[in-house]
Chain A
Amino acid sequence: MKTAINQNPDFDSINFNTKGIVQNTYDAIVVGSGISGGWAAKELCEKGLKTLVLERGRNVVHVKDYPTALKNPWNFDHRLINTQKDIEQCPIQSTAFDEGNKHFFVNDKEHPYIQEKPFHWIRGYQVGGRSLTWGRQCYRLSDLDFEANAKEGIAVDWPIRYKEIAPWYSYVEKYIGISGKNEGLAHLPDGEFQPHIDFNCIEDYFSESIKKTYQDRVVTPSRVANLTKGLLGRGPCQYRNLCSRGCPFTGYFSSNGVTLPAALATGNLTLVPNAIVAEIIYDKEKKRAKGVRVIDSVTKQSTEYFAKILFINASTIATAAILLNSKSEVFPEGFGNSSGQIGHNLMDHFQLAGAAGIYDGFKDKFYFGRTPGSIHIPRYRNIDEKTKRTDFIRGYGLQGKGERLNWDDLFATSPGFGVEFKEKLTKPGPWEITLGGWGETLPYFENKISLDQNQRDQWGLPLVKIDFQYHENEKAMRKDIKESCAEMLENTGFKHINAFDYDKPGGAAVHEMGTARMGLDPKTSVLNGNNQMHDAKNVFVTDGSCMTSSATQNPSLTYMALTARACQFALNEIDKGNL
């Protein structure tokens, strides 16, 4: 007997029904329950579709399954530092987790992949996916981004423009709740924001000084999916800055806390965890997807599920892997891959170039509460003729934070031992601002994921092989980020400036994109302007794999807006009898 979560939210295990097609048939199937899958579930369920959500990882019930959320630092065995065993078991994930949130990241040994070149594939296999641990920064793309490929003759043109997605940005922003400030910039469009989180005094000083010194840039409070006011029974944010452990106050947006409960409330959701989608089944006659074949991660038993429409939201790399693994007579190179583009054009933002500086002043000022936000400097390169660069195309945004240093830094900079050292360690240190760039990576065909048929995981599925590297444009931009951050701090009175460029491999920004891109031409793209597969009209892909270019903005907001938009389109098509 199959147990749906809407009947028993506290279930521990699921028994699969393999008996009949009828019992396993739904109106819609959503593969993945992360930030975009959660949105697909909510939209489809609210529109009355019986929707099956398949999640490869374990169930994580909002609040109940956040075991560390209310722990103090002294409640952790290793006081929040990773052990050598963590590093050995999870050489990749441990670069992103700590003792407080490591249960929301996979074990690299259990879930191997092949790195042709170093690439950090950070994953969270559980209900909610990485929406539990995401950075929560939400920025709209603009026509500067949507038009860039076409203007510069790079890759393919986006099939949409800002005006088509703008209402969907608004729709998503209003529902999830984003704190932020409208700045009236054409290249970082305004949105529907809750009150922003105020700057502290060093951020305020920096913002004012930048405004005086540079006419082409602005320092704005980061736009974060943290509620500064209560919304639909959620939040507000309690200023703990422990978001990635899961929030018992629902102070930030996650699938677990927001979209999945909304889907559940309709009575139309069936959520099945531990369900690894191995492949999409093609119906040659109807030229559509019939359903999916799923492997139970625990029993390793196979089951088939069927539906009128499919939303594939397994995350950029995993979605491409599922499509590539779905081979048939019609699609020998993978489902919907007549263009040969699936798996290619992999992008990630690059980060960790920037600068930090100390400010000698405001010694009598401090702050209360831990902000989950930060400061944001929207892109200021290659916006117009005046800001045009000769050393690179596109640009980057900066994110940063101002704070008074505490013991975590002061132990290293305070020489000596005893009462004086203790005094220095436990009193507020000097003010510091750190800035770091989030740069646009171009879509290169040769940056790709593929499947290695000779190496398989414990479920018999071929291992994902990732071949990714940055090129000259990204390298030139990194150099500029570092120099520009240091220059801004110098020009605004900061001292002891430490300009840095930590050369992290691709994936480290956890913004993978592009492996099933949208485009106008079925010969050169996988999805059309409605995230619908050119080759199979009842399959939609609305996670990061759909991105035609990466822009500089944190991309989750765009995935959510595209998902809501694609759900509406799919519904209209069903109503018209086209699906």
Chain B
Amino acid sequence: MNRRKAVLGLFFTSTLTYSGFRIFDFITPSNLVELDSNKDLIDELAEIIIPRTDTPGAKDAQVGSFIIKFLKDCASTTTQNNFIRGLQNLKSTCRYSHNKSFLDCTLSEKIELLNKIEAAETPLNGVAGKIQKKLFGRSFIYTLKEYTARAYCTSYFGATACLAYQLVPGKRISCIELEPNQKSWATQ
């Protein structure tokens, strides 16, 4: 019983700071227009996560459009609201700390800010984490990274240029030596 109380106590304290969650989030319809009006910002966030290097980046793979589509069509209302609030928090925090918009910040300022948000949003471990996820949905950064990774790694550019992909492998070799610079398989 005490252990249970301890878990719940921990869980409620932490949720107070968890992306500013509000209890009505799972029933309040999301203001999805916010996503379209922040398309530039979402494009930029995706590119910060997966930048163009010697292989294509998130913008090349049109990741931003897919993040918006996934959010609109696939995400739960809670996850949508967490994401939209996450965007608002990001913008206001940026104004407050740097006195400029996120898009106007330098790359290192942007990454520093995102690192801080990611650290603050780190989910709880174990049972409390499961309850947290179940009740409050995915956090802003988790969703952002999940959808960025999916949109990029399943795109033509991501799968064929940055990962290894074969529609019809034709054979199975169960054990091969890793090539230098070996890319991961896009599909398992």
Contact = CB atoms under 8 A, between A and B. Distances in A.
Q: Which 6 A-B pairs have the closest CB atoms?
A: A411-B149, A369-B172, A73-B154, A369-B169, A198-B174, A368-B173
B174 A367 contact: yes
Interface in A250-283: none
26 contacts: A70-B167, A74-B156, A81-B150, A84-B76, A198-B172, A239-B169, A364-B177, A366-B176, A366-B177, A366-B178, A367-B174, A368-B169, A368-B172, A368-B176, A369-B170, A406-B186, A407-B150, A408-B149, A415-B118, A416-B115, A417-B49, A422-B51, A426-B55, A426-B184, A428-B178, A428-B184
Interface residues of B, number: 52
A551 B9 CA distance: 44
B171 A200 contact: no
Interface of B: 48-51, 53, 55, 66, 69-70, 73-76, 111, 114-115, 118, 142, 145-146, 148-151, 153-156, 159, 162-163, 165-178, 182-188
A425 B153 contact: yes
B182 A366 contact: yes
Nearest to A371: B172
A573 to B, nearest CB: 45
B55 to A, nearest CB: 8
Contacts, number: 166
A422 B53 contact: yes
A422 B173 CA distance: 27
A238 interface: yes
Interface string A203-229: 110000000000000000000000000
A82 B74 contact: yes
Size bracket, chain A contacts? 35 or more
Contacts of B178: 363-366, 428
Interface of A: 70, 72-74, 76-85, 197-201, 203-204, 237-241, 363-371, 403-404, 406-408, 410-412, 415-419, 421-422, 425-429
B176 A365 contact: yes
Contact of A239 (B49, B153, B170, B176): B170
Given A78-B73, A369-B173, A72 B153 contact: no
Contact of B142 (A80, A412, A417): A412
B187 A84 contact: no
Contacts of A427: 182-184
A199 B69 CA distance: 39
